[in-house]
């Protein structure tokens, strides 16, 4: 019923002065490979969709959301949607979104900002939740200047097609951005960040008591088979392949009602 929505994206590559294509100054091709993964995953056009366990296939769904690198700057000039910025800080963390935004930012009402940079420790990425009255998001704070995704450059893009030496397995297939985009649109982790009674507010994702790392398709938790292939678990990239209908309803509700793109 709902029409496909296309979202203009700007990627801010916050680098340390390396030549384009080296280190944190990732290539245009690596960025484009990530946008392709997002478009496949959010339209359920991913080639591994066929690997979704048969028991979960009936709830796997097409999110009807697409992403495109912006073609126009906020000033109305032509662009490829990629901004490269030199930084003198060698590593960023969970509290540094505002620093990244101060280096480069396009209005969140018109663009989805993605900052790609060097992140500390083992942080793969993080996203800001939307303002929404949906269960589990009641107290989400939302600063328009930090609205978007912050991504580790070693897990931004996919190694299936080209060879991008900076990408590191098992997070080298672009699924970190798919996962973070789920948060951006209001999805909680599939285990609800708690025990069996803690919910992700989606009925069609089985409860589980903790995250799953690796890829054990037989994993059981809370007395039922876990949906470890869901993008909102912590499974390896090659093991993830679905969002569900209830996750779609949550994301589409945010997309169609969040103040993020109206007046914030």
Applying CB under 6 A, among 42, 56, 111, 171 the residue interacting with ligand ARG is: 171
Which DSSP letter does residue 205 get? S
* Strand partners of residue 215: none
**Stretch of residues binding Ca ion (CB under 5 A), selected from 57-65, 81-89, 98-106, 201-209:** 201-209
201 binds, among ligand ARG, Ca ion, none (CB under 5 to 8 A by kind): none
Is residue 210 part of the contact set for ligand ARG (CB under 6 A)?
A: no
The DSSP-derived string for 42-84 is HTT--GGGGGS-TTTGGGB----EEEEE-SB-TTS-B--SEEE
Crossing angle of the two packed helices 175-184 and 28-42, in degrees rounded to 10: 60
Backbone angles phi, psi at 129, to 5 degrees: -65, 155
| In the complex, minimum distance from the CB of residue 86 to ligand ARG, in angstroms, rounded to a whole number | 27
Least separation in angstroms between CB 201 and Ca ion = 7
Contact range with ligand ARG by CB under 6 A, out of 46-54, 89-97, 108-116, 169-177: 169-177
Contacting ligand ARG (CB under 6 A), which of 234, 245, 246, 249?
Answer: 234
Contact 241, 52 (CB under 8 A): yes
96 binds, among Ca ion, ligand ARG, none (CB under 5 to 8 A by kind): none
Residue 237 touching ligand ARG (CB under 6 A): yes
- CA-CA distance, 238 to 92, in Å (whole number)? 27
Q: Please check whether residue 230 is in contact with residue 190, taking contact to mean a CB–CB distance below 8 angstroms.
A: yes
- Catalytic member of 180, 211, 213, 256: 180
Smallest gap from Cβ 189 to ligand ARG, in A, equals 7
Residues in the chain: 264
Window contacting Ca ion (CB under 5 A); options: 33-41, 82-90, 153-161, 197-205 = 197-205
Catalytic residue check, 180: yes
Q: Select the residue whose beta carbon is closest to ligand ARG and give its number.
A: 176
Residue 175 binding ligand ARG, by CB under 6 A: yes
Tokens of 253: 């509700």
Q: Is 124 in the site for ligand ARG (CB under 6 A)?
A: yes
Strands (E), 103-244: 112-117, 125-127, 148-152, 220-221, 224-225
Q: Which residues are catalytic?
A: 180
Residues in contact with Ca ion by CB under 5 A are 200, 202, 205
């Amino acid at each position: 019923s709902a029409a496909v929505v296309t979202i203009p994206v700007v990627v801010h590559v916050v680098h340390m002065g390396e030549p384009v294509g080296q280190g944190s100054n990732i290539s245009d091709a690596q960025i484009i490979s990530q946008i392709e993964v997002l478009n496949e995953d959010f339209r359920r056009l991913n080639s591994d969709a066929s690997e979704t366990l048969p028991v979960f296939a009936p709830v796997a769904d097409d999110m009807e959301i697409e992403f495109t690198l912006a073609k126009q700057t906020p000033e109305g000039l032509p662009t490829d949607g990629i901004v490269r910025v030199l930084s003198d800080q060698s590593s960023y963390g969970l509290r540094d979104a505002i620093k990244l935004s101060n280096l480069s930012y396009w209005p969140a009402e018109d663009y989805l900002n993605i900052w790609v940079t060097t992140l500390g420790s083992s942080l793969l990425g993080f996203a800001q939740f939307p303002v929404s009255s949906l269960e589990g998001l009641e107290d989400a704070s939302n600063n328009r200047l930090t609205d978007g995704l912050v991504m580790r450059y070693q897990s931004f893009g996919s190694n299936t097609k080209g060879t991008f030496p900076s990408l590191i397995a098992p997070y080298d297939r672009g699924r970190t951005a798919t996962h973070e985009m789920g948060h951006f649109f209001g999805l909680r982790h599939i285990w609800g960040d708690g025990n069996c009674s803690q919910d992700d507010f989606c009925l069609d994702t089985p409860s589980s008591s903790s995250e799953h790392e690796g890829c054990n398709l037989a994993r059981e938790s809370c007395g039922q088979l876990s949906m470890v292939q869901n993008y909102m678990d912590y499974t390896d990239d090659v093991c993830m392949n679905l969002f569900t209908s209830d996750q779609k309803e949550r994301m589409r509700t945010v997309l169609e009602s969040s103040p993020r793109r109206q007046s914030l």
